[in-house]
Structure 1
Amino acid sequence: MSKGKVVVLGSNATRIETRGGYWGATGQYLNETVVPAMALIDAGYEVVMATPDGTPPTIDKASDAPAHFGGDVAAYQRAKDFYANDPSMKGRTLASILEGIAGYDGVFIPGGQAPIVDLMQDQQVGEILRHFHAHQKPTAMLCHGPISAIAALPYAREFRAALIAGDPDKAEDWAKGWQYAGYRMTVFEKAEEQVIEDTILHAKIYFDMPFALGLAGAVVDTGPDFEPYVIEDRELITGQNPRSDHPIAKALVAALDRKVGHA
């Protein structure tokens, strides 16, 4: 019998705007999606993947390698098999989650740069996050995943548009009323982002994650580049980078166990 149910909010984005009017290929990171999902299932929780259009996320090619599993080829293959074949990863719409949202005990949002494109400005993501905040249900976000917290803003789309337009003052005006203002959180750090821009995108994105979250009212704290780092503040659990996959999984399972009475 399941201990409870956790929704994984995935992105459908496959490209991201970059400076100069270009687009770069993007997606969701394999390890960031699968490692926590498998940990949740192993701990006795039911996992449900949901995306804006109901189809599974595209895995970012940059993450499709054993290097993101500590060089463990067997672990990498298990992850690929899980993502391709496990029923939990098949995907359903965000609207279907909202219809039965009271039945979900936790939410997890993995990274890759894809959430910058769609999840951070998706109104249904905002509705989901407002529910979890109001009921203090465990809410975990990894790497670029924490930028999805912006969706809970009343004017998330306008906030994002102002950032892309290079108008932080206007963005700050649009950020009023954010439910996570004053929360401590971590996210993919600017120096880490630069590595991705230089070696994978070969272009610059319009804004960095700590700046955006700080502008909205978060207290952003980051650890050493590409080292595991997780912060818990009230119901919110955030991890800084891909290597934080196992620590955030452990923290989320523990928070769920406390919340649903299985500690």
Structure 2
Amino acid sequence: MSKGKVLIVGSNANKVEIQGGGWGATGQYLNETVVPAMAVIEAGYEVVLATPDGTKMTLDAASDAAAHFGGDEAAYKRARQFWDSDPVMNNVRTLQSVIDEGLDRYAGVFIPGGQAPVVDLMQNAELRTILQHFHEKAKPTAMLCHGPISVAAAMPHAREFRAALIAGDPEKAKEWARGWQYAGYKMTVFSATEEKYVEDNILKAKIYFDMPYALRTAGGEVIINPKDFAPHVVEDRELITGQNPASDHPIAEKLVAALNRTTA
């Protein structure tokens, strides 16, 4: 018997804008998606995956390695099989269809990382509706790595906020962020120094803004672990955020505990 439904919101972006013009390849991280999803299922919940256009997310090639599973080849293969073949990962809904069906039936929501959410989710109008519901109902709302940038979608003017960040205009961005439901929340996100490592070694280019800067500009109280790529999770009210790929198991534990408290 299912203890309830948990919504996973994925991105449809497979490229991200880079400074100087052009695009860099991106997607969503394997371990960041699969580890929390499998933990939630193991805890007795049903998982529903939805994306803006109802198609499956692109796997970020940088995440497709056993290194993100502590070098455990068996764990990596289980994760890859879940991503490739499990119905949860392949019966993808649109965000709008989930809203139309009714958000009351969901006990919690989770958004994984990879740079993809920086492109579409942080300015998605359907996600705004979803985040407003989970905020008003105080239901567990978990996001990992770059996933926490998705909280910007809850702004009435998320698109304008993102455009101001890209234009390098923080004062205008602050204006567009007024009325944000997460202002004053403690949260974490992929750090600027972690981002620099990805830019230098994987993307080979710079994106337009780093995640802590964006969330602080919006009014969030961003708490970063100064040790790069070490596990770090922050929980404040309904919002549970993890800093980086190494936070996959810790955020899964926090999310399951929050779900159990609210559904008991």
TM > 0.5: yes
Q: What is the aligned counterpart of 1:153 among 152, 155, 178?
A: 155
* Runs of 4+ residues over 2 Å off in structure 1: none
In 2, distance between residues paired with 1:176 and 1:112?
27
- Residue 64 of structure 2 corresponds to 64
What is the identity, as a one-letter code, of the residue corresponding to 1:247?
A: P
- Residue 249 of structure 2 corresponds to 246
In 2, distance between residues paired with 1:202 and 1:85?
32
Q: What is the aligned counterpart of 1:199 among 198, 201, 204?
A: 201
Q: What is the aligned counterpart of 1:121 among 120, 123, 134?
A: 123
Identity of aligned residues (%): 69
Q: What is the aligned counterpart of 2:228 among 221, 225, 229?
A: 225
TM-score (norm 2): 0.98
- Quote how far apart the aligned CAs of 1:89 are: 1.1
TM-score (norm 1): 0.99
In 2, distance between residues paired with 1:205 and 1:68?
23
- Residue 137 of structure 1 corresponds to 139
- Quote how far apart the aligned CAs of 1:175 are: 0.4
- Residue 94 of structure 1 corresponds to 95
- Quote how far apart the aligned CAs of 1:259 are: 0.1
Task: State the SS of the aligned residue for 1:169.
Answer: helix
- Residue 186 of structure 1 corresponds to 188
- Quote how far apart the aligned CAs of 1:22 are: 1.7
In 1, distance between residues paired with 2:6 and 2:224?
26
- Quote how far apart the aligned CAs of 1:96 are: 1.1
Gapped regions of structure 1 (runs ≥ 5): none
- Quote how far apart the aligned CAs of 1:155 are: 0.1
- Residue 105 of structure 2 corresponds to 103
- Quote how far apart the aligned CAs of 1:61 are: 0.1
Matching of residue 258 in structure 1 with residue 261 in structure 2: yes
Higher mean alpha-carbon deviation, 94-103 vs 204-213, is at 94-103
Residues 14-54 of structure 1: per-residue CA shift (max 9 Å, x gap): 00000000200000000000000000000000001100000
**Matches for 1:1-40 after TM superposition, within 5 Å:** 1-40=1-40
What is the identity, as a one-letter code, of the residue corresponding to 1:32?
A: E
- Quote how far apart the aligned CAs of 1:169 are: 0.8
- Quote how far apart the aligned CAs of 1:86 are: 1.1
In 2, distance between residues paired with 1:69 and 1:109?
19
- Residue 73 of structure 1 corresponds to 73
What is the identity, as a one-letter code, of the residue corresponding to 2:96?
A: A
In 1, distance between residues paired with 2:187 and 2:62?
25
In 1, distance between residues paired with 2:83 and 2:42?
15
In 1, distance between residues paired with 2:93 and 2:44?
21
In 1, distance between residues paired with 2:253 and 2:125?
29
What is the identity, as a one-letter code, of the residue corresponding to 1:249?
A: A
In 1, distance between residues paired with 2:219 and 2:33?
27
Residues 104-132 of structure 1: per-residue CA shift (max 9 Å, x gap): 00000000000000000000011100000
Residues 186-207 of structure 1: per-residue CA shift (max 9 Å, x gap): 0000000000000011110000
In 2, distance between residues paired with 1:199 and 1:73?
23
- Residue 172 of structure 1 corresponds to 174
Task: State the SS of the aligned residue for 2:156.
Answer: coil
In 1, distance between residues paired with 2:254 and 2:168?
36
In 1, distance between residues paired with 2:103 and 2:56?
20
Task: State the SS of the aligned residue for 2:28.
Answer: coil
- Quote how far apart the aligned CAs of 1:84 are: 1.0
In 1, distance between residues paired with 2:89 and 2:14?
17
Gapped regions of structure 2 (runs ≥ 5): none
Computed over aligned residues only, the root mean square deviation of the Cα atoms, in angstroms, reads 0.5
